[in-house]
Structure 1
Amino acid sequence: MVRANRSRGRAARAREGHPELDVERLTTGWRRTEVRGGREWNVQPVSEAQAVKAYLCPGCGLEVAPGIAHLVAWRGDGVLGDAADLAARRHWHIHCWRIESP
């Protein structure tokens, strides 16, 4: 008797298709909240593929070049509201964010 190397489960899953992707969950799934200096910050990583523009890192003052993974951080507890906090977000080198206290 010939033995199949593939599990039968994989073929059954392929016939069922893939579930719909929830883009909102994917884009916000990595966002986290950190407390630094008594303030709450929203921190969201940006992958190399997502980094398409150049930004100035507030930690070191150098450019965060396109294609470099980095973090975007904004206040989570600002008094002017969520829209103002989001508009004031900054792009940080990962290392700078770890060693700096904004």
Structure 2
Amino acid sequence: MGRKHRRRDDESRPLGPTVASRTVETHADGDWIVQRTTGSAATKPYRCPGCDHEIPPATPHIVAYAADDPQGLEHRRHWHTPCWNARDRRLPGRGR
């Protein structure tokens, strides 16, 4: 039986051409790695955790994950840009 390539835990997946830029933003809940994706690079739908609505394919949006999370890329979330920008102003416990 042939060997299968298995990614080691300390290896991360390549981000590919979908990443326009990557920055670190500081918010009330810590530092976040934030990536802005272009509409042409977004090829499938995602669910925004800010409003719980779908982000359709070909929509520019934000991909973010906690800077101190060792599995950052595994825990990344896709946000509508306005939802990400408003996240510090939302009431505690309100998901939308």
Same fold (TM over 0.5): yes
1:29 deviates by 6.3
**Gaps (5+ residues) in structure 2?**
1-14, 91-96
Aligned to 1:100: 87
Counterpart among 45, 52, 67 of residue 36 in structure 2: 45
Identity of aligned residues (%): 36
1:55 deviates by 0.3
Counterpart among 46, 55, 62 of residue 64 in structure 1: 55
Q: Which has the larger radius of gyration?
A: 1
Which deviations, in whole Å up to 9, do the C-alpha atoms of 1:73-101 show, x marking residues without a partner?
001012xx1xx121000000000000013
Query: Is 1:76–2:67 an aligned residue pair?
Result: yes
Query: What SS does structure 2 have at the residue aligned with 1:99?
Result: helix
Q: Following the alignment from structure 1 to structure 2, what is the Cα–Cα distance between the partners of residues 27 and 60? A: 23
TM-score by length of 1: 0.65
Q: Following the alignment from structure 2 to structure 1, what is the Cα–Cα distance between the partners of residues 20 and 80? A: 20
More helix by share: 1
Aligned to 1:32: 23
1:30 deviates by 1.2
TM-score by length of 2: 0.69
**Gaps (5+ residues) in structure 1?**
1-23
Root-mean-square deviation (CA), in Å? 2.2
Contact 2:18/2:42 (8 A) holds in 1: no
